[in-house]
């Protein structure tokens, strides 16, 4: 098994066990729609009463980061560098990869990701208005 594949397996195993102790590493994927992740955001939460203290992001113009073993290798190295005991990772895509207030105006909608307009990020379903 390649080192990158071992990294993915290590992350998935930690995530499957759930939160057991801190520090916790969180992994979230974002994309222009619900099929392709073009951004991965990983944060470190040092203890139960803290916000994230470290964060790193990975981006891809093409492909899906959830299927990229090299990216998983880099994520695993980041998590191990911060000596995480637990990992929380969502299966799906949590929304648009662009950041409100940075990539488009605060309170607005991303003009590059029409799929997410009016959509609940957790269920993926359109919100009833």
CB-CB contact of 126 with 119 (8 Å):
yes
Question: Are the C-beta atoms of residues 25 and 87 closer than 8 Å to each other?
Answer: yes
pLDDT exceeds 90 at position 25: yes
- Reported as a pLDDT band with limits 50, 70 and 90, residue 127 is confident
Q: Work out the average pLDDT over 46-54.
A: 93
Contact 85, 24 (CB under 8 A): yes
Q: Quote the CA–CA distance of 25 and 72 in Å, as a whole number.
A: 13
Considering the entire predicted model, what is its pTM? 0.90
| Mean pLDDT estimate for the chain | 92
| Band of pLDDT at residue 64, cut at 50, 70 and 90 | very high
Residue 120: the pLDDT is: 85
Nearest to 66 by CA among 43, 95, 35: 35
Over 80: is that where the pLDDT of 55 sits? Answer: yes
Tens-digit pLDDT profile for residues 74-97: 999 999 999 999 999 988 999 999
Query: Given pLDDT bands bounded at 50, 70 and 90, which one contains residue 129?
Result: low
CB 127 within 8 A of CB 120: yes
Q: With pLDDT > 90 as the criterion, what percentage of the chain qualifies?
A: 81
Please compute the mean of the pLDDT values over residues 3-25 and round it to a whole number: 90
Cα gap 99→101, rounded to integer Å: 6
């Amino acid at each position: 098994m390649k080192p990158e594949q071992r990294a993915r397996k290590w992350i998935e195993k930690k995530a499957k066990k759930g939160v057991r102790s801190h520090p916790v590493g969180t992994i979230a994927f974002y994309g222009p729609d619900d099929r392709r992740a073009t951004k991965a955001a990983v944060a470190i939460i040092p203890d139960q009463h803290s916000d994230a203290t470290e964060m790193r992001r990975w981006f891809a113009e093409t492909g899906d980061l959830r299927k990229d073993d090299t990216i998983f290798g880099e994520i695993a190295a980041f998590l191990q560098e911060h000596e995480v005991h637990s990992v929380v990772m969502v299966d799906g895509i949590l929304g648009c990869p662009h950041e409100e207030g940075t990539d488009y105006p605060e309170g607005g909608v991303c003009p590059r990701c029409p799929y997410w307009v009016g959509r609940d990020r957790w269920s993926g379903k359109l919100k009833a208005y």
